[in-house]
Chain A
């Protein structure tokens, strides 16, 4: 379950170590790139954790048993969220442990802002997981493939590995509507300021505004995707798709 994130951390740990040896002390590759990989891994785990919980019910042909029971649809989604929290936190801890022991990475260098960063990524990860699950619920088990590459695609626009200013102007529009991009831009600004490479960007007010926008967007997406899932559920009740999931 955690194989990919462990491989990710080890791979990027060595890459950042190598880059660090080239750049000497001018730029903290481990803190910035490995930190970004770990935070992105956290978001991915939340999304995949939620989707996996949903897919396991499809794979085990257990849908009818759940939906014919007193379980309410909101409770079902809450259950998926709970399992994704557990797997997400566990995966995050494993990544931190490996990165700390093997590469001397310390996430607490981000400081107080770590908490809101994690909260935004967590809410956005949930929204992505619910959205993908709703799509699979609507389109059928064959649509499962949609869920796996979504975090990778979004990482292009989220400024995980590079500042958003690196993107062409028209692609930056997408970044503005992705909550995660506010987290990664802010994280870079904090770490750059702590290293003295870019003192002006570390202004607390700008960071707070960024985080408010990120949080607002993530929460809006969570609400929208929740209602989307409920809507798909009602559509499936009308069209008999819940029963067909057990046969497909």
Chain B
């Protein structure tokens, strides 16, 4: 076992609809893997199953060699998550939010940890500001600080830079890359920004209709399929999945 995350034959069905169809992949320590695909491809469903907030219909998920179904509490202590649609309570201050989540994840030396996160994510000036009063860029930085509070071995990021200006998005990308390099954190990252994926990810998995169509290095994959860049490959795969499937 040297994978942080191992997903085998993952299936999610809603009545007769298959949102995720027999997905298998593995992610090594320190690797950043991009989960790409058009809307409704099954990216968020896959992430939700790995987070343990959605029960798979079939298949298995292993994190750090342990089965998620059997060791959920142990595993979630070593994972964390940030998404544009998962916000922090707006009536708590930035500091209080980090404190509450630090307690939930049983973080040691919590006050020191919060101090360092506030510094790393340029949030010191907002420590006593209620989260509901933050701008979207500041909120994203807070979400990310929360996602790193327990120094997770597996970090799941569902469109963490969506709707952010290029400068804030770049700030977040740089922080995650730095963190990953320092701590060997494994990251599963969904995004519709192909430039971002190319800049950050070591590997991409392209999902369509719940299935993995393509997998490979985002910098070499377009050329392998005769495409100019990742964006052109994304558009082709989204429009003609059967071509890639075959």
- Which residues of A are at the interface with B, using a C-beta cutoff of 8 A? 56-57, 60-72, 237-240, 242-243, 246-247
Contacts of A68 in B (CB 8 A): 51-53, 76, 79-81
Instruction: Assess whether B91 is interfacial by the CB under 8 Å rule.
Output: yes
Contact B76 A65 (CB under 8 A): no
- Mask, B193-219, CB within 8 Å of A = 1, is 000000000000000000000000000
Task: Specify which of A62, A71, A242, A243 lies most central, judged by the most chain B CB atoms within 10 Å of its CB.
Answer: A243
Given contacts A56-B89, A247-B85, 16 further A-B pairs with CB under 8 A are: A61-B85, A62-B86, A64-B48, A65-B146, A68-B51, A68-B79, A68-B81, A69-B76, A69-B105, A237-B55, A238-B55, A242-B48, A242-B53, A243-B44, A243-B54, A246-B86
Contacts of A65 in B (CB 8 A): 81, 86-88, 101, 146
Instruction: Categorize the interface residue count of chain B.
Output: 20 to 34
For A67, give its contact among B53, B89, B90 (CB under 8 Å): B53
Number of A-B contacts (CB under 8 A): 73
Closest to A243 in B: B48
- Which residues of B are at the interface with A, using a C-beta cutoff of 8 A? 12, 14, 44-45, 48, 51-55, 73, 76-77, 79-81, 83, 85-91, 101, 104-106, 132, 146
Q: B233 to chain A: closest CB distance in Å? A: 28
Which 8 residue pairs spanning A and B have beta carbons closest together? Answer: A64-B86, A68-B51, A60-B89, A61-B87, A69-B104, A237-B55, A242-B53, A243-B48
Contact A71 B54 (CB under 8 A): no
Known: A56-B91, A61-B86. A240 touches B54 (CB 8 A): yes
For B104, give its contact among A57, A64, A71, A242 (CB under 8 Å): A71
Contact B87 A60 (CB under 8 A): yes
Contact A70 B86 (CB under 8 A): no
Contact A237 B81 (CB under 8 A): no
Contacts of A60 in B (CB 8 A): 87-91, 132
